């Protein structure tokens, strides 16, 4: 569903936020777990045993803007990391079994999916 309960969609309001917050320099990466195909562990494991969730926790501890989500395939997850300016050092943050499957930056455009996840990551940051 792309519309909120009030009938507004992200398309109606994202440009003002980007202008006010100077988000035009945003960069991002998307990771998945390559240990079992494109999916995470088949059996649900504690967060510290799941490469996606462990990396998400490490990103939060490193004050990185990030979000994870379930992919359309059962038991699959993705980790999205957003930043501005210089690339953050992700060596000690990203689990060694994660694979970068996509990266992008503002100049190439942000898909609706990417913008939605960016807002979710910002919301998570504000909640902390």
User: Tens place of pLDDT for every residue, the chain, 128 residues?
Assistant: 444 555 666 555 555 555 555 567 889 999 998 755 545 555 556 777 889 999 999 999 999 999 999 877 767 899 999 998 889 999 999 999 999 999 998 777 778 888 899 989 998 888 87
How high is the pLDDT of residue 21? Answer: 55
Residue ranges of the domains in the chain? 26-34+48-127
Assigned fold of 26-34+48-127? Alpha-Beta Plaits (3.30.70)
Q: Please state whether beta strands 26-33 and 77-84 pair in parallel, antiparallel, or not at all (unpaired).
A: antiparallel
How high is the pLDDT of residue 126? Answer: 87
Taking the model in full, what pTM does it have? Answer: 0.76
3-class DSSP string for the chain: CCECCCCCEHHHHHHHHHHHHCHHHEEEEEEEECCECCECCCCCCCHHHCHHHHHHHHHHHCCCEEEEEECCCCCCEEEEEEEECCCCCCCCCCCCCEEEEEEEEHHHCCCHHHHHHHHHHHHHHHHC
């Amino acid at each position: 569903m792309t519309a909120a309960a009030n009938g507004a969609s992200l398309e109606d309001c994202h440009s003002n936020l980007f202008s006010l917050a100077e988000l035009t320099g945003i960069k991002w990466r998307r990771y998945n777990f390559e240990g079992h195909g494109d999916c995470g562990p088949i059996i649900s494991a504690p967060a510290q045993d799941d490469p996606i969730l462990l990396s998400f926790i490490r990103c939060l501890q490193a004050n990185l803007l990030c979000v994870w989500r379930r992919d359309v395939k059962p038991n699959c997850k993705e980790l999205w990391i957003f930043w501005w300016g210089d690339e953050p050092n992700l060596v000690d943050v990203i689990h060694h079994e994660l694979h970068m499957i996509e990266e992008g930056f503002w100049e190439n455009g942000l898909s609706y999916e990417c913008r939605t996840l960016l807002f979710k990551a910002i919301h998570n940051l504000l909640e902390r």
